[in-house]
Amino acid sequence: MTPEKAVHVLVADDFLEWRVRIRSIVQQRPEWQVICEVCDGLQAVEKTAELRPDIVLLDVGMPILNGIEAAKRIRHTCRGSRIIFVTQDGDPDVRISALATGANAYVLKANAANELLPAIDAALRNGHPQD
C-alpha cells in the first residue's frame, strides 16, 4: 500500500475558536495538514500565494478584505488552490456571490462537522469548477 499524498490546507477565519474547530475537523484525515491559519482576507491572499495550499477554507465575513474579495484574488493568482467557504452567512445572495468567484463549495458552519470533509473530498476529486 502506498501512502497518500499530503493535502495542504489553509484556514482563514477571524475567530480563533472557529479556526480551532475547523482544524480539528480537517485533521480527522491523517493525510490532511493545516499548514497555515490566518485571521483576515488579505493574509489569506498573501499566504495562499506564498504556500500554494491544495485547499483554502475561507470565511465570508473577515476584516481588511472579506472572503469573497479574497477568493477573487486567490482564484486569479493561485488557480491550483481549491476554495471552500466555511461561513455562518446563510444568505442566498451571499452564497451566489461566493460561488461566482469559482469556489468549489459553500459550507455553513452549523453543518461543518458533517459537510466539510465531503466538500474537501469533492473539491480534490473534481478540481476547480472552471478547469
CATH at 26? 3.40.50.2300
pTM recorded for the entire structure: 0.92
Can you tell me which residue has the cell 461566493?
A: 98
Tell me, what amino acid is at 77? T
Q: Which residues contact 20 (CB under 8 A, 6 or more apart)?
A: none
pLDDT in tens, the chain (131 residues): 334 689 999 999 999 999 999 999 999 999 999 999 999 999 999 999 999 999 999 999 999 999 999 999 999 999 899 999 999 999 999 999 999 999 999 999 999 999 999 999 999 998 655 43
Q: Cβ(44)–Cβ(70) under 8 Å?
A: yes
Is 37 a domain residue? Answer: yes
Secondary structure class of 37 (helix, strand, coil): strand
Q: Which domain holds residue 91?
A: 7-126
What is the helix, strand, coil percentage profile of the chain, to 5? 45, 20, 35
Into how many domains does the chain fold? 1
d(CA 21, CA 38): 14
